Structure 1
Amino acid sequence: MTSRIRTGPRLLATAALSLCAACAVGPDYRAPAADAAAVPLNWHARLPHDGSLASLAQWWRQFDDPLLSELVDSAEAHHPSIDAAIASVRAARAGVIAARGGLLPSVNADASLTRSSGAGDTSGTKSPPFTLVNGALDASWELDLFGGARRDLEASHARLQAAQADWNEARVSLAAEVADAYVERRYCERLLLLYRDTLQSRRETERLTTLKLKAGFVSPADEAQARAGSYDSENQLIAQEGICQQDLNRLAQLSSIPAAQLEARLTASAPVPAPAADEAKVAVHSGIPMPQDPAVPSVPAVILSQRPDLQSAERSLAAASAGIGVAVASRLPAFSLSGSIGINHLVHADGNVRSWSWGPSFSLPVFDGGAGHARVETAYAQYDQALAQYHGKVLVAVQEVEDALTRVDASVRRANAAREAERNYTILLDSQENRYKLGETSLLELEDSRRLALASRESLAAVQLEISESWIALYKAAGGGWNDATATPPSSPSAPGDHAAAPTSQAGAGA
């Protein structure tokens, strides 16, 4: 009967400790719902293909340009921004391991060896030297009764997931930047071809004008005008060559491929533009890579959920929420168990001295000058800051998607008009060149036709560049099609996805 009376309080205490261990102070986290005022039910801009769903994960294949895909892969493998993002993931992963260690006991071993000599007695006789060997094993375990360590682990998991999302964001941004640089280079090459053709044509006009001057059919002013046109075209060509070199340098920096090697690759793989009169091919073989129109989701939430910057912001918000629990727990009592085992051995002496101890300890913050309360207030303020940053990123994301869709729609609708203008101005130029050779028109009229044709070709190339760049902008705005389900950093384990829910007030902090 006595045994049953003594066992009852023990069971009651054990149950109480288990109940405390199952709870965690601070608010439980819930991911914030998208702001209805910020995210529209439908995109205001027109959607290509009526908004049918499609993944962007293999989006670069839409360009049908192996070199572009290779450059994107090379940049991802070697660019410092990706290395920095991977290092951040490694640091966050180490933070998870450290936080997990806070839930486990700690054990320390100590050992020492001391050689000493005793002092002499009153007769002047000194005791012989002796060697003392000490060994001890200490263990301690702070019980996570109020969940502070668990909240810290929760925050560490969220920070790891945020770092993984930042890695995805670095990949998306870098890929878009490489693609932009690549199409800019191809656009520059297209202009070089146009300017070289123009220079060749103007030099031919100059040659014919010189022959006409010798025959007395034109004035010296006509020859001067023809020669000036040649020099003007040469100047334009030289300036464009400098721009192309700058584009090459930028692409080499992004891809980590030496400029000379990259230039050879670009030259070998450069597409040959179709003749201007071939309307069916000019849009595809202009020298500027353009994707087949990829479809995009019609529901904003589907697009925004792919954006790694929003994923990172949401995970940072979760970490801030868990940080409130850590701050609240630091103001509550702390219970720990500790124990030690030690042995002292005197060399050349009989026997050892053994010692041991164990027991619980309790600490309670009594007065800290308001520091504990300030930590809790700081944690709530950091959560509010993270929430505001998240909503701000949502607003930016919606704007970027709308802007990209607007650019795609406008550039695609401009393309047909630009092609028609270029085709007709080319017909006019061909006609004027034939008439000039027959002496039926003046050099001034011919040069006017040439300038119009050149301007139309540049305009068409610019529209084709805009189409490519607008799709690249949409790719980036839509999050690139990469998410945690399809990609993780090298050697990065998938972080736990258990989410808790958002704090709404300090009253939710718990006691």
Structure 2
Amino acid sequence: MKSTASILATAVVLTTLTGCVTTPDFQMTEEQKNVIPQRWLGPSVQCQESINNLAEWWATWSDPEIALLVEKSQSANTDIRVARENLRQADAAMTIANAGMFPQADGEFRGGRSHFGGTGSNSFQIGLNLSLTLDAGGRYAAAQAAFSDYLYSKASLGQVQTAIAARVAQAYISLRLAQRRVSVAEQNLKTQQEAYDLANWRYKAGLVSSTDVDQAITSLEQTKASIPVYAAQVHQYRNLLAVLTSSRPDEVGLHQVKEIPQPPKNLALSIPGEVLRNRPDVRASEAQVMSAMARVTQARSALFPSLTISGSFGFSASTFGALGDAGTQSSSGFGTLNIPIFHAGSLLAQLEQRNSQLESARINYEASLLKGVQEVEDALNTIWAQQLREKSLREAERSARSAAISAQQDYNAGLQDFTVVLTTQRTLLTVQEALASVEAEISNGYVALYKAVGGGWPVPQEFKENDK
């Protein structure tokens, strides 16, 4: 009885110590708080209403095909599937770590026969072995670290989902841009062909020199030369989409030429702190800090004694049928108190190592916040600049088209030099290509903005609960 009382007393002491060696809750440092601006400094994006679900921002775009491609990538992309398996592994590791806080029980059955001096005997044993280790919070801290690693895997999955969604959207936009460039070149090719036919007719009629014909051919062939390049880009982006959606290129389709997809342009940004905190990379860094804090606690608990209580209960008899009869019962109980005395400084060094890892995790968290600020501000500035550029280019296209038509009419009437016709045609082609590019840049800017604010993944409930 005295030994049992001593074991229980030691257990009470260790339980008390557990309350002294605990992991604090995650809190942002003052340096980390100062990283987050009070407001976004970039030019305001034209907004009308906020988007309710940033996790599926692609569903609000004008082109349904972009939504289909992104949705397919979210389920089929190989990087996302690997990230899901990593999350599955982290979930299993969390279960393993949690099991360390509970008693371990194993059933045992033994049967055998022995011979001595020509006499044989049988023996049968059946029983239950129990064990429980109590320490100063180390096992609980290990479970906390495993849970944080699980959250890290969830956020890492979100990072991959966000990145793949953005890459699919950008590849689709680039494909439509390449198709648009092919279309623009082919339209201008018709006009240039008409100019060549007229110049050639006038040359044969002796009205102009061969210079007009040569210039017309040069312009015509230059435009022709650009078409295979843009057509190759169409195939390249189709191949990229096939990889991102784990499909064959012929399954992607997208052969019909369509306009460059346009975003709804109704993204209303929340305050910087809310936006940045919900980015998956920031959440992943936060989980790493939480895990490092728990491992510091685990290392600190190793400096305190630990108690392992084990015992067994069972039956032992010479025949299997006699198991359970009176007199066949057996039981035992043990208590092992482990007191760290001399480890050549390894325990303190491990604690120092864990503290250093915690400081590194905090620095990485600050870096992820800084990266978030940069990406949001860059996206806002890109959209603003390209929108202004688009406005000017639309006016330039209108003037270039008018100038090209006037120059052609004047040349037909013999009032204009052919060089002016070619110049206005080239200018129109250049402006139209630039306008197509700026439309794609605006759409890509919105994709970058959605990605920068964490669009593409739903914030797991576990993170929301930790925020409370």
User: What TM-score does the superposition give when structure 2 sets the normalisation length?
Assistant: 0.90
Aligned match of 2:35: 38
Which stretch of structure 1 is more off in the superposition, 129-138 or 188-197?
129-138
Contact 2:168 2:241 in 1 (8 A): yes
Q: Distance in 2 between matches of 1:467 and 1:475?
A: 12
Which stretch of structure 1 is more off in the superposition, 342-351 or 222-231?
342-351
Aligned match of 1:507: none
Contact 1:425 1:452 in 2 (8 A): yes
Question: Does residue 255 of structure 2 align to residue 267 of structure 1?
Answer: yes
Aligned match of 1:295: 267
| Number of matched pairs | 459
Superposed structure 1 runs of 4+ greater than 6 Å apart: 348-352
Which stretch of structure 1 is more off in the superposition, 17-26 or 190-199?
17-26
Q: Distance in 2 between matches of 1:201 and 1:357?
A: 100
Aligned match of 1:466: 441
Contact 1:135 1:344 in 2 (8 A): yes
What one-letter code is carried by the residue in structure 2 that aligns with 1:302?
E
User: In the TM superposition, what is the alpha-carbon distance from 1:267 to its structure 2 partner?
Assistant: 2.8
**Alpha carbons of 1:371 and 1:14: their partners in 2 closer, same or farther (altered >3 Å)?**
closer
Which stretch of structure 1 is more off in the superposition, 375-384 or 52-61?
52-61
1:368 alignment partner, SS class:
coil
Aligned partner of 1:106 among 89, 104, 115: 104
What one-letter code is carried by the residue in structure 2 that aligns with 1:20?
T
1:71 alignment partner, SS class:
helix
User: In the TM superposition, what is the alpha-carbon distance from 1:96 to its structure 2 partner?
Assistant: 1.6
- Greater helix share, 1 or 2? 2
2:455 alignment partner, SS class:
helix
Question: Does residue 391 of structure 2 align to residue 416 of structure 1?
Answer: yes
Q: Distance in 1 between matches of 2:399 and 2:199?
A: 26
Aligned match of 1:143: 134
Alpha-carbon displacement from aligned partner over 1:287-327 (angstroms, at most 9, x marks no partner): 21111212232521121122111011111101110111111
Q: Distance in 2 between matches of 1:26 and 1:101?
A: 19
Q: Distance in 2 between matches of 1:49 and 1:213?
A: 54
Which stretch of structure 1 is more off in the superposition, 455-464 or 341-350?
341-350
**Alpha carbons of 1:138 and 1:36: their partners in 2 closer, same or farther (altered >3 Å)?**
closer
Alpha-carbon displacement from aligned partner over 1:106-131 (angstroms, at most 9, x marks no partner): 11223333344334xxxxxxx15444
Contact 2:182 2:231 in 1 (8 A): yes
Aligned match of 1:160: 150
Structure 1, unaligned runs of 5 or more = 1-5, 120-126, 272-286, 487-493, 501-511
Which stretch of structure 1 is more off in the superposition, 36-45 or 398-407?
36-45
What one-letter code is carried by the residue in structure 2 that aligns with 1:161?
L
User: What TM-score does the superposition give when structure 1 sets the normalisation length?
Assistant: 0.83
Q: How does 1:280-291 map to 2 (within 5 A)?
A: 287-291=259-263
User: In the TM superposition, what is the alpha-carbon distance from 1:437 to its structure 2 partner?
Assistant: 2.6
Aligned partner of 2:124 among 133, 136, 140: 133
Q: Distance in 2 between matches of 1:426 and 1:305?
A: 49
Over the matched positions of the two proteins, sequence identity in percent amounts to 27
Q: Distance in 2 between matches of 1:213 and 1:51?
A: 59
Contact 1:411 1:463 in 2 (8 A): yes
Aligned match of 1:394: 369
User: In the TM superposition, what is the alpha-carbon distance from 1:36 to its structure 2 partner?
Assistant: 4.3
What one-letter code is carried by the residue in structure 2 that aligns with 1:43?
W
Contact 2:94 2:146 in 1 (8 A): yes
Aligned partner of 1:425 among 396, 400, 420: 400
Aligned partner of 2:201 among 197, 204, 211: 211
Which stretch of structure 1 is more off in the superposition, 210-219 or 375-384?
210-219
What one-letter code is carried by the residue in structure 1 that aligns with 2:59?
R
Q: How does 1:46-445 map to 2 (within 5 A)?
A: 46-49=43-46, 53-55=50-52, 56-119=54-117, 127-144=118-135, 146-263=136-253, 266-268=254-256, 270-271=257-258, 287-347=259-319, 354-445=329-420
Contact 1:75 1:174 in 2 (8 A): yes
What one-letter code is carried by the residue in structure 2 that aligns with 1:32?
M
Structure 2, unaligned runs of 5 or more = none
Aligned match of 1:491: none
Contact 1:89 1:163 in 2 (8 A): yes
2:39 alignment partner, SS class:
coil
Q: Distance in 2 between matches of 1:188 and 1:498?
A: 46
Aligned partner of 2:432 among 457, 464, 478: 457
What one-letter code is carried by the residue in structure 2 that aligns with 1:402?
E
**Alpha carbons of 1:14 and 1:81: their partners in 2 closer, same or farther (altered >3 Å)?**
same
What one-letter code is carried by the residue in structure 2 that aligns with 1:139?
L
